[in-house]
């Protein structure tokens, strides 16, 4: 574990991000997390919550993304994030997009479905309060080769304490086989490798390009999603499978895909980042390189979208009597945001941007709820 603070800490010295956005992904992988401080004591009593079949101290985790490897998983587990997800891996090695991979967004406010066509403005300057941080991120889902991440996942699993669950995120890679059948095979193969490496739950990221239609993401296509989920669930056997979906904007679109995947999944998580065009303050493409005018937006600005989809998902689950677990993600920056999500009826919540800039978030929530 790296006992140094992050030199990219913004003007407000009380904000200590664990991921250094001024360094490359590989440097963060090799040298992070950039955090030094005392770990809180693990709770003394028995875990009072459940997630799927597992007892957990809290229904709070970090979704796929910020936790790059076993050192990151261990640090966040010890900080009290009881549902840590290992960043999405592939069946083959894939380099990361060039640095920078994260930029702050300037005065972005609250994003709504009506604003999806807007161009957002990036800035290197961090807001002074964690609650106001929104970023764009673009990594391209890099991956080590499977032998490397499997050995590392074994270490991550071994670092879990009582009342915690180790979750691994996987994605299929277009081109590893032919069409949707080939992609589904690759999802299933990657998920099986994660299970063999010790994942207690496997999540698959359906926010990836649709190889069948050539446009849009898999999560908006009920047939492609069902095919992938069916193959992957079959390969995983009794290891629970969760799907991670993006923002639908319309409850009936969410319902169509959930109906198609519900027979095969034990959990539905969302939302992923929202896709926007992002420019710098002079109006030029903000992130360098081809295909990077559009990138994923996350943090405070997407909370209303995440909360509305959480409400829709819970209502749908109750109406259709589905028995999968629900996980709310998107814009959780403070303990109050965690409570707002849990009030929708989701079974668990996860924070990515919030947890990167405030690693004490889970412990603060536990303290407020007397879990100690
Ligand atoms: C640095 C970073 C990397 C991410 N990488 C992934 C990823 O590999 N797979 C994935 O499914 N989602 C990824 N995400 C999306 C998050 O899991 C989450 O859905 C999104 O950031 C919204 O949550 P937030 O507002 O709490 O950040 C990433 C997010 C961030 C901030």
Say if 12 falls within a structural domain: no
Q: How far is the CA of 352 from the centre of ligand 1 (A)?
A: 6
Q: How far is the CA of 14 from the centre of ligand 1 (A)?
A: 23
Contact 204, 232 (CB under 8 A): yes
180-229 pLDDT, tens digit each: 999 999 999 999 999 999 999 999 999 987 777 777 799 999 999 999 99
Alpha helices for the chain (secondary structure H): 25-31, 70-78, 146-158, 179-196, 222-236, 251-261, 303-320, 335-342, 353-357, 361-368
Cβ of residue 303 lying under 6 Å from some atom of ligand 1: no
Say if 15 falls within a structural domain: no
Is 102 known to be catalytic?
Answer: no
Active-site choice (96, 102, 170, 208): 208
Q: Is the pLDDT of residue 2 over 90?
A: no
Cβ of residue 17 lying under 6 Å from some atom of ligand 1: no
Closest CA to 287 of 110, 124, 95, 133: 124
| Bond before 33 cis per omega within 30 degrees | yes
104-145 pLDDT, tens digit each: 999 999 999 999 999 999 999 999 999 999 999 999 999 999
Cβ of residue 63 lying under 6 Å from some atom of ligand 1: yes
Domain containing 111 equals 42-368
CA distance 274 to 294: 10
Specify the pLDDT at position 208: 85
Average pLDDT rounded to a whole number, residues 255-284: 97
CB half-sphere exposure, 90, CA atoms < 13 A:
18
Say if 160 falls within a structural domain: yes
CA distance 10 to 14: 9
Q: What percentage of the chain reaches a pLDDT higher than 90?
A: 92
Q: Is the pLDDT of residue 9 over 60?
A: no
85-100 pLDDT, tens digit each: 999 999 999 999 999 9
Say if 28 falls within a structural domain: no
272-296 pLDDT, tens digit each: 999 999 999 999 999 999 999 999 9
Say if 19 falls within a structural domain: no
Mean pLDDT is lowest, of 11-15, 43-47, 164-168, for 11-15
Contact 88, 169 (CB under 8 A): yes
Cβ of residue 97 lying under 6 Å from some atom of ligand 1: no
With a CB cutoff of 8 Å and minimum separation 6, the contacts of 178 are none
Closest CA to 327 of 353, 313, 310, 348: 348
Say if 208 falls within a structural domain: yes
Closest CA to 116 of 254, 306, 247: 247
Quote the number of domains for the chain.
1
Cβ of residue 302 lying under 6 Å from some atom of ligand 1: yes
With a CB cutoff of 8 Å and minimum separation 6, the contacts of 213 are 221, 224
Residue 223 CB neighbours (<10 A): 12
Q: How far is the CA of 296 from the centre of ligand 1 (A)?
A: 8
Say if 5 falls within a structural domain: no
CATH code of residue 126: 3.20.20.70
* DSSP strands (E only) in 117-170: 119-123, 134-137, 167-170
46-68 pLDDT, tens digit each: 999 999 999 999 999 999 999 99
Which residue's structure tokens are 């908006």? 220
Residue 24, SS3 per DSSP: coil
Average pLDDT rounded to a whole number, residues 306-313: 98
Contact 123, 106 (CB under 8 A): yes
Q: pLDDT category, 1, cuts 50, 70, 90?
A: very low
Say if 46 falls within a structural domain: yes
């Amino acid at each position: 574990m790296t006992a140094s603070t992050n030199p990219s800490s913004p003007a407000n010295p009380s904000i200590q991000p664990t991921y250094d956005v001024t360094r490359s992904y590989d440097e963060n992988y090799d040298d992070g997390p950039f955090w030094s401080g005392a770990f809180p004591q693990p709770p003394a009593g028995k875990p009072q919550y459940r997630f799927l079949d597992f007892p957990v101290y809290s229904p709070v985790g970090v979704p796929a993304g910020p936790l790059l490897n076993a050192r990151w998983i261990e640090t966040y587990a010890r900080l009290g994030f009881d549902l840590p997800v290992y960043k999405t891996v592939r069946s083959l090695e894939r380099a990361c997009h060039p640095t920078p991979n994260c930029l702050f967004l300037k005065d972005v406010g609250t994003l709504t479905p009506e604003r999806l066509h807007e161009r957002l403005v990036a800035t290197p300057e961090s807001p002074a309060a964690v609650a106001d941080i929104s970023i764009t991120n673009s990594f391209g889902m890099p991956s080590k080769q499977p032998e490397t991440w499997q050995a590392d996942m074994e270490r991550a699993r071994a670092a879990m304490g009582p009342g915690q669950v180790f979750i691994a995120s996987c994605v299929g890679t277009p081109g590893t086989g032919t069409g949707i059948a080939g992609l589904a095979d690759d999802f299933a193969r990657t998920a099986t490798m994660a299970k063999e490496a010790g994942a207690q739950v496997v999540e698959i990221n359906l926010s990836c390009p649709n190889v069948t239609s050539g446009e849009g993401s898999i999560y908006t296509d009920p047939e492609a999603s069902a095919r992938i989920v069916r193959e992957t669930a079959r390969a995983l056997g009794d290891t629970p499978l969760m799907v991670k979906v993006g923002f639908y904007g319309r409850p009936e679109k969410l319902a169509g895909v959930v109906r198609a995947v519900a027979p095969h999944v034990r959990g539905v998580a969302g939302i992923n980042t929202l896709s926007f065009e992002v420019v710098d303050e002079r109006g030029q493409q903000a992130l360098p390189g081809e295909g990077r005018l559009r990138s994923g937006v996350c943090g405070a600005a997407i909370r209303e979208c995440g909360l509305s989809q959480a409400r829709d998902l819970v209502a749908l689950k109750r109406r259709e009597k589905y028995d999968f677990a629900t996980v709310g993600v998107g814009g959780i920056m403070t303990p109050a945001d965690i409570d707002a999500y849990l009030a929708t009826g989701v079974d668990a919540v996860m924070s990515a941007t919030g947890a990167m800039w405030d690693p004490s978030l889970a412990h603060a929530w536990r303290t407020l709820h007397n879990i100690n």
